[in-house]
Amino acid sequence: MDELRWAVLGTGVIANEMAVTLGKMGKKLYGVANRTYEKAVAFGQKYDVEKVHDCIDDLFTDPNVDIIYLTTPHNTHYPFMKRALENGKHLLVEKSITLNSRELSEMAELAAGKGLVLAEAMTIWHMPLYKELWRRARAGDFGKVQMITLNFGSFKPYDMNNRFFNRNLAGGALLDIGVYALSFARSFMDTCPTKIKSQMLPCATSVDEQATILLQNDVGQMATIALSLHSKQPKRAMVSFDRGYLEIMEYPRGDRAIWVDAETGTVEEIIAGARENALYYEMTDMEDAVRSGDHSRMLLPYTQDIMAIMTSLRAEWGLTYPEEAAQTCG
């Protein structure tokens, strides 16, 4: 396959990081589009982008684009994904990949029918540290997973118009930060959780400000998750096995873990990769999946499991977004 050409929709923080990452890969961004054309032009000049599209739809129909990185707010993903896939583009989509399981199932079916790679840009799937930990866990080095404990808390000012708390922008802790915790937990559990319990505290706009979630699968593995958008917590993960435990700080982009052997008391530091290269690992895995035709490395089935959990939780909380109501009416 010839050189794969990337385009990005959106010009925010992740789009800037993505453009820099392409430089690490020895290439440049081919195309960019944004709702505000002037921002796309400025972005294009900053990164010497070959094609700045004055219409978003032109990005999807450009025959020179191979892969699109979709970095817009997640309540906009579904219609953009549909247009991109219909035009034969491979898609890497910022988390949360969609609003709900119905949207994701429809897009996964569309991608599969066209032989396209569809993936969520979940750093956890691609960090070298986790690939090493999963390898060792499968080999039995740590024993059986028993319990997983995760925290993720951010202190966001109470501005009900910003995307974190804005219901019209699909705000709330679950889709913004909870997706990381659930992705981590699912990656260490042998099967998808089937028993789910939760408590949720809404903010003034009725989206989830904080939540606690309990998970259990059919082989007895459990996870506890604490989330908050207005209370700072360490991004800390602990995986308890029957022979010891792993502890990872800053786990969304983890590059080191501590293994404590319960029998001997031995402490081992496991280091792999570098957190500053998180997008590099994502994007090189994406290119490998496109080139090889092996889509499995992008872990879409895990993404679907997590989306099913989040959809179930929001149904329990009675939390819906305007786009979902419009889809139901349609």
Q: Which domains does the chain have, with CATH numbers?
A: 6-123 (3.40.50.720), 125-280+306-329 (3.30.360.10)
Q: Does residue 134 carry a pLDDT above 60?
A: yes
330 pLDDT higher than 90: no
Helix (H, G, I), strand (E, B) or coil at 156: coil
| In the predicted structure, residue 1 carries a pLDDT above the cut 70 | no
pLDDT range class, residue 4, cuts 50, 70, 90: very high
- d(CA 53, CA 31) in angstroms, rounded, equals 7
Element counts in the chain: helices (H) and strands (E): 11, 15
pTM over 0.75: yes
- Render pLDDT for 225-264 as a digit per residue (tens, 0 to 9): 999 999 999 999 999 999 999 999 999 999 999 999 999 9
Task: Tell me the C-alpha to C-alpha distance, in Å, between residue 3 and each of 25, 141, 267, 279.
Answer: 12, 40, 45, 19
The residue count of the chain comes to: 330
Helix axes 300-317, 179-188, angle to 10 degrees: 130
Buried (b) or exposed (e) across 86-123, using 16+ Cβ within 10 A? ebebbbbbbbbbbbbbebbeebbebbeeeebbbbbbbb
63 burial level (CB within 10 Å; 0-12, 13-18, 19+): exposed
pLDDT score at 328: 53
Query: What three-state secondary structure class fits 81?
Result: helix
Q: What is the pLDDT of residue 329?
A: 43
Q: Over range 289-312, report the average pLDDT.
A: 97
User: What pLDDT does residue 196 have?
Assistant: 98
> What distance in Å separates the CA atoms of residue 25 and residue 27, rounded to the nearest whole number?
6
Q: Judging by DSSP bridges, how do beta strands 67-70 and 90-93 pair with one another?
A: parallel
CA atoms within 13 A on the CB side of 6: 26
Q: CA-to-CA distance for 232 and 250, rounded, in angstroms?
A: 13
88-110 average pLDDT score: 98
**In whole angstroms, what is the distance from residue 198 CA to residue 210 CA?**
11
What pLDDT is recorded for position 325? 72
What are 303-326's pLDDT values in tens digits? 999 999 999 999 999 999 999 976
Q: Does residue 283 contact residue 22 with C-beta atoms inside 8 Å?
A: yes
Name the residue among 81, 85, 86, 12 with its Cα closest to residue 43.
Answer: 12
C-alpha to C-alpha distances, 82 to 78, 89, 328, nearest whole angstrom: 6, 10, 17
Task: For residue 265, count other CB atoms closer than 10 A to its CB.
Answer: 8
CA pair distance 125, 220, nearest whole angstrom? 23
DSSP helix/strand/coil, 164: coil
